[in-house]
Chains A and B, each alone.
Chain A
Amino acid sequence: MWKTIVRRVLIMIPQLFVLSLLIFIMAKQLPGDPFTGLLTPDTDPNRIEELRELAGLNDPWYVQYVNWIVNAAQGDLGKSYTYKIKVSTLIGERALNTFWLSLVSVIILYLIAIPLGVLAGRYQDTFLDKIVVFYSFVTYAIPTFVLALIFLFIFGYQLHWFPTVGSVDIKYDTGTAGYIWSKLYHMLLPAFTTAVLGTTAVVQYLRSEIIDAKSLDYVRTARSKGIPVNKVYSRHIFRNSLLPIAAFLGFTITGLLAGSIFIETIFGYPGMGQLFISSLVSRDYSVITALVMLFGFLALLGSLLSDIIMSIVDPRIRIE
């Protein structure tokens, strides 16, 4: 068990290294540097040069890279040139928003997916099953941004059920019940959109898992002992089918992160995905590099998490 985890973590290190090198070199290629925006006709070119020297922008790239890595390892990711605050503080704020949004999304996702998957599997080939199969087909095929825009248009602008932008109403003070409710209220529509898009895999997996389990010996044994059908489904089959679903959690996180770029941009939700797009527009490359690294790290962590859960659930894939 531990060997599996250690081995997976060891594989992560070179991957992170190559990723960081790639991102660093890419960031250096971004047109313009952070001081380009400060240029006005009256700016003294020597002053700009001085600033560049101070920021270490004139060092050879490998020196800059090592400096960056060493600082990053100590939690110092540099300063955002547009927001004038530390990158770690900036991302910390946004990451919290993205975290809450992802959490609500995952909860809604499982609330939708588990009943659908279980019902479709139990009542296989009925009308209900066909509807679920069709639903999971549509959510698989539709691109994130199209669904998000259509939801925003219908539920936000036409029906006025949900707020259309931001993460909280400014009229509430931090910490009050109204503030928390307002935050949650702003999260619901983006989280629902993300959840709907993520249900496909879970529904399909759960459905086929339950269909397979129906004909297995332990189910027949349970039935022949006289356990009612409902109980067999809720106690025996459901538990066995649920374990592999837990393993999906890691991949779900990876998917949520990639989707957050679209979702947060469209719903104007101030999370990491939106920060990424806005820093690209303003060429704030200390923020860009930090975000890509963080997303890469989280994606690796997600697949690691899935592997660990898998190896707990299914002992066959452990490395001894």
Chain B
Amino acid sequence: MAKQATVDIKKEEINSPPTGMQVVFREFRKDKLAMFSLISLVLVIVGVFIWTWFIDQEALMRVSLRDKYAEPGEKFLLGADQGGKDILGQLVTGARNSIAIAIAITLITVSFGIIVGLVCGYFGGWIDNMFMRIIDFFITIPSLMVIIVFVTIIPKYTVKEFILIMSLFLWTSTARLVRSKALSESRRDYVNASKTMGTPGILIIFKEIMPNLSSILIVELTLNFAGNVGIETGLTYLGFGLPPQTPSLGTLISYANNPLVLQDKWWVWLPASLFILLMMLGINYVGQALRRSADAKQRLG
């Protein structure tokens, strides 16, 4: 009976090559480290979001000078900062904010980039020309500096504005990638066949071309997410990121700008730095495994 089953599975594999999620699943089963990264990432992200529900934000932000730079111990698991505020609580809240904002920016930039890229790649002509000039411009400007200046000039500055400013400057790479893929895809026979049958362009783009690019899009989504976490925390570290009332991982690290803290009070900034480091390694590793599974030549599984 058991033997029969394995034979059946083999037959199936020969008959239909693995597609979509099956390929991804195989890749992750083959690469144990990627599997481990994926599972721990999901656990950490979900854990952080749940944990913040149980943190009393008011109590967390209360200044108590008696606990100034309290060392890690029983009262504060990871010590306290200059204002006697619990580091662990700030770390979890900061991680929640950083992750949520990075997800928001990623979703906005990637969806905008996909739409622009697909439309440009499929239709070509003046739309393509116009967007390519805009993208060329965005790529050549020193975007980090321009974002910083933007952040300084916005009068009523909140998280929403920050997300919008970041999105304004970060959609171009996705658009460029998707455009080049859509360009080669729209020369394929199935697209031409669909055109001759009178399918409207919009339907061809989103129902026929886009599914064929899905594996690349997932990779792009993952790697962009990692990049956005890096940029957001970096800007916040410099003091031009999230507004002060919204702590981020970068806020905790920015305490290290004070040489005294950097030198002697490692518990203030090191946990957040290591958190970012490990998270970035994890996301990028998952991204690489996804990229491998999107390219038949590089697959392990």
Contact = CB atoms under 8 A, between A and B. Distances in A.
A30 B152 contact: yes
Given A15-B137, A149-B273, A164-B259, A26 B149 contact: yes
A38 B230 CA distance: 38
Contacts of A141: 226, 280-281, 283-285
A27 interface: yes
Given A15-B137, A142-B280, A261 B150 contact: no
A142 B153 contact: no
Contact of B233 (A143, A165, A261): A143
A276 B253 CA distance: 20
Contacts of B256: 149, 153
B145 A291 contact: yes
Given A258-B142, A292-B149, A299-B141, A146 B276 contact: yes
Interface stretch (B104-112, B212-220, B261-269): B261-269
Nearest to B273: A146
B98 to A, nearest CB: 11
B145 A261 contact: yes
B288 interface: yes
B153 A26 contact: yes
Interface residues of A, number: 43
B258 interface: no
A280 interface: yes
A168 to B, nearest CB: 18
Given A143-B233, A149-B273, A157-B262, A15 B253 contact: no
B140 A303 contact: yes
Nearest to A165: B259
A280 B226 contact: no
A148 B295 CA distance: 34
A8 to B, nearest CB: 11
B277 interface: yes
Interface residues of B, dominant DSSP: helix
Nearest to B272: A146
Contacts, number: 107
Interface string B147-183: 0111011010000000000000000000000000000
Contact of B140 (A15, A26, A146, A150): A15
B77 interface: no
A145 B281 contact: no
B155 A153 contact: no
Given A138-B281, A149-B253, A164-B259, A143 B234 contact: yes
Given A30-B152, A153-B262, A143 B141 contact: no
A109 interface: no
A261 B238 contact: yes
A292 B140 CA distance: 12
Given A137-B284, A257-B142, A299-B140, A145 B149 contact: no
A153 B136 CA distance: 39
Interface residues of B, number: 38
A288 B233 CA distance: 23
A98 to B, nearest CB: 13
B273 A150 contact: yes
A142 B230 CA distance: 8
Given A30-B153, A143-B276, A153-B266, A292 B145 contact: yes
A276 B146 CA distance: 11
A44 B145 CA distance: 36
Nearest to A26: B149
B238 A149 contact: no
A19 interface: yes
B144 interface: yes
A292 B136 CA distance: 17
A299 B152 contact: no
B19 to A, nearest CB: 28
A137 B230 contact: no
A143 B142 contact: no
Interface string A1-41: 00000000001000100110011001101110000000000
Interface in B178-234: 226, 230, 233-234
A157 B263 contact: yes
Contacts of A78: none
B69 interface: no
A288 B149 contact: yes
A143 B280 contact: yes
B122 interface: no
B28 interface: no
A245 interface: no
A140 interface: yes
A154 to B, nearest CB: 11
A180 interface: no
Contacts of A292: 142, 145-146, 149
13 contacts: A15-B136, A30-B149, A142-B277, A143-B233, A145-B253, A149-B269, A150-B277, A152-B262, A157-B262, A258-B142, A292-B142, A296-B142, A299-B142
The 3 closest A-B pairs by CB, nearest first: A143-B230, A141-B284, A29-B153
